[in-house]
Amino acid sequence: VVRDDDGNGPAGHSSRLVHVSGSDALTTKPTAGSPVHVVVGATSGIGREVAIRLARRGPVLLVGRRRDVAEELAAELGPDATAASCDLSDSDAVTELAQRIPRLGALVVTAALSPLAADPRTIIDVNLGGVARLVDAFAPAVSEGSVGVCFATITAHTERPSPDLLHALDHPLAS
């Protein structure tokens, strides 16, 4: 038991932020009885492939940067697939998203920003902070059989990190 988007970046990694705002983040609310699989970064690459496979195993929430793309995938996958968007840098939006899932099946996070998509501070806020927010927010929905898989990015493994990235890594929570 684990307690604790679109477009592709280098080597096929997702390279864009996902967004959620407002109370209309989900088109429908999953039922309380069945576990719901949540795939953050579901609209492309690895996340899309995982979402397609998890949809065969039960209800799935597809979270993508662009809700319209998530909705298109949900329509392809059938009535047990629901679309949402979420800003991973917004704690309230992540909490709101998680509160709509009464029982978690799998939490799979593939969403991340690449150095081409954002500044170093935003990358750390989303790629590190966003994953931490998701894990914390979904913890109350974890039950026996819940699993979590978070894919990392290669952003931290560049040959010559920029001075801005090094500063952001030294001071991850500074404004």
d(CA 70, CA 158): 31
Q: What is the pLDDT of residue 161?
A: 61
Contacts 24+ apart (CB under 8 A), 167-175: 167/120, 168/120, 168/121, 168/123, 168/124, 169/120, 169/124, 172/124, 172/128, 172/129
User: Which amino acid would we find at residue 89?
Assistant: S
111 pLDDT higher than 70: yes
pLDDT band for position 175 (cuts 50, 70, 90) = very low
Count Cβ neighbours within 10 Å for each residue of 70-84 and write b for 16 or more, e otherwise: bbebbeebeebbbbb
130 pLDDT higher than 50: yes
In this structure, what are the phi and psi dihedrals at residue 168, rounded to the nearest 5 degrees? -65, -35
74 pLDDT higher than 60: yes
6 pLDDT higher than 70: no
pTM for this predicted structure: 0.74
Higher pLDDT, 7 or 164: 164
Tens-place pLDDT, residues 31-42: 557 899 999 999
131-138 vs 91-99: helix axis angle to the nearest 10? 40
Higher pLDDT, 9 or 139: 139
The mean pLDDT of 89-93, rounded to a whole number, is 95
pLDDT band for position 19 (cuts 50, 70, 90) = very low
